[in-house]
Structure 1
């Protein structure tokens, strides 16, 4: 039986396909599987990356005059908050062996928060790619769109579809037995068909559009300057713009790989892709936990608060507004 694809998720437990009492008095906690190693590793990842990301975000505040850093701050908030769900809360539920019906209301709030900030991160990644595309190719309408406080309006407007997505389309729910999130709450066996074409389209569109913007940017730069050598010698790849370009590309590549992997495992039986499910969750965490590593490796200004702590001493790069 198919289920409606649009509904208000705050009433999720009132719908028959999510009715945990339909099967009688079931001990739902016995349906889960405790995974202490996975849980501990997930929690450790979050505890390591969230503070580092927070320090990077503080360093970005001094450079928020640049539109790229406004977007990177948005990403920092989305990524750090989603790590609270994808690493810390996921880890705790893995240890305790949770399934949807063991705590439906908590699972609902967990899924709402996890998916909201997950898609905010993907949206921010796309906006960053679009911003770099417009500013480095000096496309005036795009430069105007992100100039000054308008960048915040763009970010706010692009967050609205994310809110609609998580509130009115099927949510993904945690299951400790398969250590992943699924549209199927795994209450009934084959009685309902759980799917979300809107979710699928969103997950495909965000990384694909981000990658397209980035590839068009690189092609546009080469076409404008005639050759890679002339491009390197031009102001377009100065000490100010090159780190941001490389950072954006690295983050986009990570998003693209992780989201596509995550999407693929949703179309396979959970029992058949057990190892892939572990990789999918690692990819999910890397989507949110890798940006601070990229910043520390490539951006000397963001790295300054860590001077004396990091073992590798790399050249410092000053950031100054050129195209913004």
Structure 2
């Protein structure tokens, strides 16, 4: 994956809006697949009988196992996955159907890009925290209780969220690109220009 030479601003001035729209690559099939998979996991086949995520999360929240730090961490992971799924399924599905590239809808694409970056960071960091918790508790239960016992996981959650916010703001931007039907760090991925430069690989 290539990165733009200058991240701010991502200028769209060298083409008209109509020209950017013409460069988009709509794909109804991929868009439906994105939305379908997200709907399946969030809602299920039958709204009343086969809900997947939400009953599992409610059961986890009401479980007596919440006194264990690992289950608190898994609860955060579950909610993070639910919120991220709205972006990576419905937003990406919309992007594929409409053939989105950054300069077609800069504000909307920035918003969804920041959303996915934030929740990806939270999810990844929380998964690392879960692995660390299990490792420390297996190694030394007393040490595990010292660092992760009681409400201490919530302090770790706070650090993770602050880290995710800072990374989403200062760590770089990503947007959906219909040239790869996924999120890219380069707003001009697959196009000759990349933030005022020419990508010779794609031009040739």
TM-score of the pair, normalised by structure 1? 0.53
CA apart distance, 1:192: 4.2
Alignment of structure 1 residues 61-80 onto 2, 5 Å: 61=61, 62=63, 63-80=65-82
Aligned residues: 186
CA apart distance, 1:24: 4.3
Whether 2:57 is the aligned partner of 1:57: answer: yes
Find 2:193's aligned residue among 163, 174, 189.
Answer: 189
Alignment of structure 1 residues 267-306 onto 2, 5 Å: none
**Counterpart of 1:306?**
none
TM-score of the pair, normalised by structure 2? 0.82
CA apart distance, 1:137: 2.4
CA apart distance, 1:25: 5.5
Q: Distance in 2 between matches of 1:123 and 1:137?
A: 21
Contact 1:134 1:140 in 2 (8 A): no
Structure 2 gaps, min length 5: 44-51
Q: Distance in 2 between matches of 1:88 and 1:25?
A: 24
Structure 1 gaps, min length 5: 5-11, 195-268, 271-324
**Counterpart of 2:160?**
158
* Residues 225-274 of structure 1 deviation map (CA, whole Å, 9 limit, x = unaligned): xxxxxxxxxxxxxxxxxxxxxxxxxxxxxxxxxxxxxxxxxxxx79xxxx
Q: Distance in 2 between matches of 1:32 and 1:156?
A: 39
Aligned CA RMSD, in angstroms, stands at 2.4
SS of match in other structure, 2:127? helix
- With over 3 angstroms needed to count, the CA separation of the structure-2 counterparts of 1:193 and 1:81, relative to structure 1, is farther
SS of match in other structure, 1:27? helix
Q: Distance in 1 between matches of 2:152 and 2:117?
A: 26
**Counterpart of 2:180?**
178
Contact 2:77 2:126 in 1 (8 A): yes
**Counterpart of 2:36?**
44
* Residues 83-134 of structure 1 deviation map (CA, whole Å, 9 limit, x = unaligned): 1000111011111111111110000110011111111111111011011111
Q: Distance in 2 between matches of 1:170 and 1:163?
A: 12
**Counterpart of 2:6?**
3
CA apart distance, 1:169: 2.0
- With over 3 angstroms needed to count, the CA separation of the structure-2 counterparts of 1:149 and 1:193, relative to structure 1, is farther
Q: Distance in 1 between matches of 2:187 and 2:11?
A: 10
* Residues 130-156 of structure 1 deviation map (CA, whole Å, 9 limit, x = unaligned): 111111222423321111111111111
SS of match in other structure, 2:183? strand
